[in-house]
Structure 1
Amino acid sequence: MQGVEKKYITPEELKKHNKAGDLWISIQGKVYNVTDWAKDHPGGDVPILNLAGQDVTDAFIAYHPGTAWDYRKLCFEFAKMGLFEKKEHVTLYTLSSVAAMFAMVVYGVLKCTSVWAHLGSALLLGLLWMQSTYVGHDSGHYEVMSSRQYNKFAQILCGNCLTGISIAWWKWTHNAHHIACNSLDYDPDLQHIPVFAVSSRFFTSMKSYFYDRCLKFDALSRFLVSYQHWTFYPVLCFARLNLYLQTFLLLFSWRRNVPDRAYNIAGILVFWTWFPLLVSCLPNWPERVMFVVASMAACSIQHLQFCLNHFSANVYVGPPSGNDWFEKQTSGTLDISCSSWMDWFFGGLQFQLEHHLFPRLPRAQLRKVSPLVIDLCKKHGLPYRSLSFIEANIWTLKTLRTAALQARDHTIPPQNLLWEAFHTHG
């Protein structure tokens, strides 16, 4: 960045930062403070602890393949071009559209008497939640505002206050997802037992290292998974209920250290004030139920999008390793191809691989860098899969159906005999 004074660190100063809680390393003449990142290092924190306070360029070369060097070169080129700073006006436009949609929803509920107007308001609210979530997602990855304080305000406003889903919960799970993309036992975004299973490997009741508990494949799980390709879309219509539950479980779990817990709790209290109040203004209970269900169903498109990006991609068991992180991102991720005018609808996340490789890159730049990512994948023989929305749905349903049929296999014993009571297919 222009105008930022360069700082120089001597080898003697670097050596002082070699203890847990104060970890610095040097790669190719650049010094990195990896204190907080060490626990998320794909290769584990031990290599960082052992090499802290030193120039680790040779170790980096030894343990990282050519993809890592080309990837770093691409990052450098993007930084040189200023792409990480060129956020353009996407956030301003999105927030303005969210404000306009919120006003229309309130007007539709309070001032209109037609049931169709109320239904339209509910569908618009679902779209509002989608767009607000995109801003919360973006602000969680990089600062979309002019200062750290404004950025945190955007997170709480767009996440907690408007959608009722805690930005603290999102960061907790989403960062783990990025680091361990499509690891069955480390990526929380694939751990949906007892409702969904994208791989028969879940049938062995594997341990979730993220949640630190066993994902039991019992009789109920076998029954639900056996029909998951039929229940997939209906379940997504009510997926927000689980997110609300996860938000409460995290924020009110005093055993876990939650950053900005008070702000997050205050934010969800705002949501659970205005949303029930708005619903209560509808004339009768049938319309209230319709409003809630329709708004969640409309927003289910976004939950579907998250599934399409990863459910039918390659999966693996175990922690990610530092020497194949780039490969894991490409094998575990699918892009959704669409016209540029649809970028607002998908929030930039249709470029899922580009986002995974460069999570701090503003969404306005993702379409621009996509050709470079494609070239990099071709150079190293790595997959770059970009499917239409329909094709991605077909791939996902095939994955779910394959696992569903495998779940019906009696050679895989359930955890208890209740399976027999639920076993209704022959």
Structure 2
Amino acid sequence: MGRGGKRGELSWSEVREHNKREDKWLVIEGQAYNITNWAGRHPGGSRVISHYAGQDATEAFKAFHNDLTSVKKFLTPIHVGPVEDYEKSNLDEDFQTLRQTAEKMGYYKPSYFFFLIVIAHILVLEVMSYWVMAYFGTGWLPCIVSMMCAVTVQAQAGWVQHDFGHLSVLKNSKMDHFVQNFLMGIIKGASPHWWNYLHFQHHAKPNVINKDPDVALDKLFVIGEVMPVQVAKTRTKSMPFNLQHKYFFLIGPPLLFPVYFQFMLFRHIYTRRLSLDFVLVMIYFFKYFYLFTPMLGLGGALVFYFTMRCLESHWFTWVTQSNHIPMNVDNDQALHWMKLQMNATCDIEKSFFNDWFTGHLNFQIEHHLFPTMPRHNLYKVAPLVRSLCKKHDIKYEVKTLWTAFSDIIRCLKHSGELWEGTYNAFHS
């Protein structure tokens, strides 16, 4: 649908019509672009850019790219024309000023020493997870200590690979992804491509039904105010969602990594023929079984592995879901970038433990607003974000770690009750 045009030819109503799978336009800084064919070549994946079809993608475009000058050269061939009635709101202007202030204050500059220390402590614990049992034997105490080291390695490697995946450390796509491949593939035994493919979609449209893969839970759980009602009205057979706050403890954190993630990452590698990711994951498994099978036997090594994955899964699930499940979950309302992120995220109080335990994802609000900002600077920009939220009457929520965890169960219970009431009303 490669239409050219002169200023004044395009209206927002016309742009919004191009939001179909076979016909997609989006707007960046008042200019419309036809991404129908380009989406398939987009380095971040076709879905993450397609989620903004028919919408203003200006702030998302700026948030995801470190070097806007080099990226903009790809826009010229797909340019359609200016949008006649495109106007910046006061929030647009203020958020742009906030971003520029953060850049001037150096908040986008990483501390290489910080990330070196983080990676070093992961590697030390990686060695310890093997050495403890190799030196002290496989009694219950060495096994517990080794397990604690291994689980910590997996959780912390997950947090720091996330930083490199966002290009927030080295600010260079090839170099950041090289380190991410090492951490995600060889240290964690997972597919970096699979992680990025899902995670970028989450950032583009957090908590948006049918766009954020992290809330595509409706086969097992319903969350928010909208999803329970939609599921109750359209399905006559489903899980007993009124009990989901109870069975969450059985099939949520315990099984996410050892079952679902294990299946999905290999499925992703196989269906997309990702040879590099396959090699990286195989290196991890060769390393693991080569080291642990002689000490534990094959059966023992498998038990140790899946126990580690189960404990890691608890750590990951409680941390990541505490910022999102209790927040607003809705269909796409084409909200402004800041309002979209603020509706879907909350912060957890700062402390040395919270920063370490969550990989600085206790500053989830700031991370979502500025995904390429190094995590150790997120707390610095938080007061500026809070001030802007106050000016525009946008809710800025900070919780204790325990409250954030408790809210997951509270919200699951509430959504389950909402589903039950709607289901009984429509299918009685």
With normalisation by structure 1, the TM-score equals 0.77
Distance 1:284 1:88, change over 3 A: closer
Structure 1 match to 2:64: none
Q: How does 1:58-69 map to 2 (within 5 A)?
A: 60=86, 62=87, 64-69=88-93
Structure 2 match to 1:239: 256
Q: What is the CA–CA distance in structure 2 between the aligned matches of 1:387 and 1:46, rounded to whole Å?
A: 32
Instruction: Indicate if the aligned counterparts of 1:166 and 1:264 stay in contact, CA closer than 8 A.
Output: yes
Structure 2 match to 1:125: 150
Structure 1 match to 2:416: 404
Q: Secondary structure at the match of 2:360?
A: coil
Instruction: Indicate if the aligned counterparts of 1:238 and 1:297 stay in contact, CA closer than 8 A.
Output: yes
What amino acid is aligned across from residue 229 of structure 1 in structure 2?
A: H
Structure 2 match to 1:296: 309
Distance 1:66 1:42, change over 3 A: farther
Instruction: Indicate if the aligned counterparts of 2:110 and 2:169 stay in contact, CA closer than 8 A.
Output: no
Distance 1:288 1:375, change over 3 A: same
Is 1:265 matched with 2:274? no
Structure 1 residue 380: Cα displacement:
0.5
Q: What is the CA–CA distance in structure 2 between the aligned matches of 1:71 and 1:271, rounded to whole Å?
A: 43
Q: Secondary structure at the match of 1:281?
A: helix
What amino acid is aligned across from residue 248 of structure 2 in structure 1?
A: F
Is 1:178 matched with 2:192? no
What amino acid is aligned across from residue 176 of structure 1 in structure 2?
A: Q
Structure 2 match to 1:227: 243
Q: What is the CA–CA distance in structure 2 between the aligned matches of 1:345 and 1:46, rounded to whole Å?
A: 36
Structure 1 residue 338: Cα displacement:
3.0
What amino acid is aligned across from residue 324 of structure 2 in structure 1?
A: H
Is 1:355 matched with 2:380? no
Structure 2 match to 1:6: none
Structure 1 match to 2:53: 44
With normalisation by structure 2, the TM-score equals 0.76
Q: What is the CA–CA distance in structure 1 between the aligned matches of 2:196 and 2:218, rounded to whole Å?
A: 21
Structure 1 residue 396: Cα displacement:
1.3
Structure 1 residue 149: Cα displacement:
3.2
Structure 1 residue 126: Cα displacement:
1.0
Structure 1 residue 364: Cα displacement:
1.2
Q: Secondary structure at the match of 2:380?
A: helix
After the TM superposition, which segments of 4 or more aligned residues of structure 1 sit over 6 Å from their partners? 23-26, 32-35, 46-51
Structure 1 residue 55: Cα displacement:
6.3
Q: What is the CA–CA distance in structure 1 between the aligned matches of 2:381 and 2:311, rounded to whole Å?
A: 30
Structure 2 match to 1:73: 97
What does the per-residue CA deviation read over 1:31-58, in whole Å, with 9 as the maximum and x for residues that have no partner? Answer: x9996489627642577899936666x7
What does the per-residue CA deviation read over 1:303-353, in whole Å, with 9 as the maximum and x for residues that have no partner? Answer: 211111100101111x351x5232121111111113145312211111001
Q: How does 1:141-290 map to 2 (within 5 A)?
A: 141-145=166-170, 147-199=172-224, 201-203=226-228, 219=237, 221-223=238-240, 225-234=241-250, 235-240=252-257, 241-254=259-272, 261-283=274-296, 288=301
Q: What is the CA–CA distance in structure 2 between the aligned matches of 1:411 and 1:106, rounded to whole Å?
A: 54
Q: What is the CA–CA distance in structure 2 between the aligned matches of 1:373 and 1:231, rounded to whole Å?
A: 37
Q: What is the CA–CA distance in structure 1 between the aligned matches of 2:85 and 2:167, rounded to whole Å?
A: 29
What does the per-residue CA deviation read over 1:163-222, in whole Å, with 9 as the maximum and x for residues that have no partner? Answer: 12211111111111111111122211111232222146445776xxxxxxxxx9564x42
Instruction: Indicate if the aligned counterparts of 1:109 and 1:281 stay in contact, CA closer than 8 A.
Output: no
Q: What is the CA–CA distance in structure 2 between the aligned matches of 1:233 and 1:282, rounded to whole Å?
A: 32
Structure 1 residue 363: Cα displacement:
0.4
| Paired positions, count | 373
Instruction: Indicate if the aligned counterparts of 1:122 and 1:292 stay in contact, CA closer than 8 A.
Output: no
Structure 1 match to 2:328: 314
Q: What is the CA–CA distance in structure 1 between the aligned matches of 2:213 and 2:26, rounded to whole Å?
A: 29
CA RMSD of aligned residues (A): 3.5
Structure 1 residue 356: Cα displacement:
0.4
115-124 vs 226-235, greater mean Cα deviation:
226-235
Q: What is the CA–CA distance in structure 2 between the aligned matches of 1:87 and 1:396, rounded to whole Å?
A: 33
Structure 1 match to 2:72: none
What amino acid is aligned across from residue 323 of structure 2 in structure 1?
A: N
Is 1:135 matched with 2:160? yes
Instruction: Indicate if the aligned counterparts of 1:336 and 1:387 stay in contact, CA closer than 8 A.
Output: yes
